[in-house]
Amino acid sequence: MSKFKVKDALKLRIQKPFEFEDDDPTATPGFDGDKDDLKKQAERYDDELSDLQELLFANGRSLGKDASSILVILQGMDTSGKGGAVRSVFSIFDPQGTTTVGFGKPTEEEMEHDFLWRIRKHDPLPGQIVAFDRSHYEDVVIQRVHSWVDEDEIDRRFEAIREYEKELADRNVRIIKVFLHISKDFQVENLLERVEDPKKFWKYDDGDVTERAHWDEYSKAYADAFNRTDEDYAPWYILPSDNKKYARMALKFLILSALREMDLSWPEAKFDPEVERQRILDSK
C-alpha cells in the first residue's frame, strides 16, 4: 500500500519563483497507489482530525480571543472543485466549529467599499475553522486579467492583502492558502458533465466558457499572486487536482498539520468538579 503522509502534503508549498509549467495537474506527488489505497489514506486520520477540531473549538469557548483559529483560502480555475473539497473535508467536523463562505461577484454595496471590506466581515472567530471558497484574491486576479484596474491599484491591493493576512496571523489565525490546479482538458470534462447530467445543470455557468479564453492570462496573474503573497505566516500550496480525491486528501492533511502544530490541550475546568458532581447527584 502506498502511504501518503502529512509531510508529503507540506511539500506541495510553492517554490518561488513559481511557474505553472513546472507543476503537473495530473500528478499525485507523494502517492503512487490505486483508488483503494487513496480512499484508505484519505480516511486514515479522520478520527484524529475530528478530535483536534473539537479541541480547537473547546479552546475557543474557554480562552476567548486568545484562542487560535484556522482560515483555509481556496482558489482555482472555474470547475476546479473548491466547493466539493470543502464539503469533503469539513464533513468530518462538528458544524458548530466551522464556517464556509463563498465569494462571488461583489454586490453594489460591496463595490462602494474597499475590496477587503466584504472579506473582513468573515474573519475566523477564536476556535473556528473557516473556509473561503474564492476570496480577496479574486479582486486582484480577475481585475488584472480584464484590465479593470491599473497596475498601481494592483500593487496597492497586494500590499493590503499582505497587511491583512499579517494582522490575522498576529491574532493567532493559521492561514492555509490552497490553489486547486487543474488542466484545461480536465476543465472541459467538468464543463461537459455540467451540460450533460441533469443533476448538474444548476452548476453550469456559461461565463466559465467565456473565461476559458483567458486561461493563460489567469495562469500568469495567479503565479504572480503566489510569488508576491507567499509568506511563512500565510503560505501557498499548489494541489494537483485533476485527481480530485488526491487533492481533497492533501487539503485534509494540511489542516491536520496545522492543528497538530498548535499543540492544544483541553481547557481546565472553571468549576470544582467534585462539588458539581455532588450537586448533580443531589438533584436526583
User: Which tens digit of pLDDT belongs to each residue from 119-141?
Assistant: 999 999 999 999 999 999 999 99
What is the pLDDT confidence band of residue 91, given thresholds at 50, 70 and 90? very high
Residue 114: how many CB atoms within 10 A of its CB? 13
Return the ∠ at Cα 9 (arms to 164 and 30), rounded to 5°. 155
> Which CATH number goes with the domain that contains 206?
3.40.50.300
All cell numbers assigned to 165: 493576512
The whole-angstrom separation of Cα 67 and Cα 59 is 6
Residue 22 domain flag: yes
Percent share of the chain, pLDDT over 90: 94
Residue 273 domain flag: no
Residue 278 domain flag: no
Single pTM value for the model: 0.95
Question: Tens of pLDDT along 211-225?
Answer: 999 999 999 999 999
Residue 105 domain flag: yes
Residue 155: how many CB atoms within 10 A of its CB? 12
Residue 126 domain flag: yes
In this prediction, residue 238 carries a pLDDT of 97
Residue 269 domain flag: no
The whole-angstrom separation of Cα 92 and Cα 107 is 32
CB 55 within 8 A of CB 128: no
Residue 1 domain flag: no
Q: Which domain holds residue 71?
A: 6-263
Average pLDDT over residues 67-83: 97
In this prediction, residue 16 carries a pLDDT of 87
Shortest CA distance to 123 belongs to which of 156, 80, 170? Answer: 170
- Residue bearing cell 509549467: 21
Total number of domains in the chain: 1
The answer for 10, left when phi > 0, alpha when psi is -120 to 50, beta otherwise, is alpha
Q: Which SS3 state, helix, strand or coil, does residue 172 take? A: coil
Residue 283 domain flag: no
Shortest CA distance to 248 belongs to which of 101, 4, 84, 105? Answer: 84
CB 254 within 8 A of CB 46: no
